[in-house]
Amino acid sequence: IIDITVPFDEPSNLQLAHERKVTKYTHLGNTMPFVVGSLGAWLPSNDLIARAVGIGAVGWNKVRRDTRLLAIQGSLRIAREHIRGERCHTSTREDPAAPG
């Protein structure tokens, strides 16, 4: 299982997010959390995913760059919408606070 999470960009938060994903999914099989900080921080354990799924160095560097950029862009969008007083998140679930 590869699960992507984007926690607040602080080293202890990144590691905690990784540990939470392992705890959540270990009972289902091999678990590989993909953790990228909200401002683009990269957890070194992410690089194990490239080897596990057979992505070469050039391809993985592109994934790494693009993923970090998407995290930063998403964080900027959320901050901008918050400052403008716009709704920054929509959910298709009935209860967006429900764990899922």
Cα(39)–Cα(21) distance, rounded to whole angstroms? 20
Q: Are 34 and 5 in contact (CB under 8 A)?
A: yes
Q: What is the pLDDT of residue 85?
A: 87
Those residues whose C-beta lies under 8 Å from the C-beta of residue 49, and which sit 6 or more positions away, are 2, 32, 34, 55
Q: What is the pLDDT of residue 95?
A: 46
3-state secondary structure of 2: strand
pTM for the model: 0.74
User: Which residues of the chain register pLDDT less than 50?
Assistant: 95-100
Q: What is the pLDDT of residue 15?
A: 93
Q: What is the pLDDT of residue 100?
A: 46
Rounded to 5 degrees, φ, ψ at 96 are -60, -20
Q: What is the pLDDT of residue 96?
A: 47
Q: What is the pLDDT of residue 10?
A: 84
